Structure 1
Amino acid sequence: MDLYKAASGMCRLANVDINDVVNFRFRRGAGQQEVYLELHAGSKKMRSYIDAQGNITEVDVRELHEKPSSSKLIDVANQLAKEGASMDAFRLGLDKS
């Protein structure tokens, strides 16, 4: 498993240069997810799970709020803003009526 390659891939997905990463952490995952990797660069937080074969199985890119203890999903927030939908409607794939 090459954590540098995984981190590089995560940065590409988030449109962040790997040299801008200021903080990272990794730990053992749960179940089939062998490693949890988290990177912080600028206002973005990237998280992923990597399986035993070194494949990234989940990726989550978040933009940090002014309050450092909370963050939001960029794509979900943008989608909700465009549609004016509620979070429950978004999760169910429904339009707000």
Structure 2
Amino acid sequence: MIRKLGAALWALAQALPYDPERDPDLGPFCTHLRQRYGRHPLALSPEEWEEGLLDLIAERIAEGWDRHGAPSAARDPEGEGFIASKLAPPAYPA
């Protein structure tokens, strides 16, 4: 699904009558692509847009884990599945 979103963003950028980096919604992603590949986003293939989107999502997940703690899982000592845990700020202020 994410790959199809990347391809859809590429098609949208190709259809814009102006530079997609100036677009208020698409611009930040185009800047990410330019920094990642060192070329203008319109010069990239749909596959590069897809990989760039996957890369951006992975970065955001890792940033959240760094900020709030990564979830972890371990095998149940009795071998009956997994035990998972996650430390996070409380959902509601105390």
User: TM-score with structure 1 length normalisation?
Assistant: 0.33
> Which structure features the higher share of helix residues?
2
> Which structure features the higher share of strand residues?
1
User: Which structure has the larger Rg?
Assistant: 2
Higher RCO (Cα < 8 Å, 6 or more apart): 2
User: TM-score with structure 2 length normalisation?
Assistant: 0.33
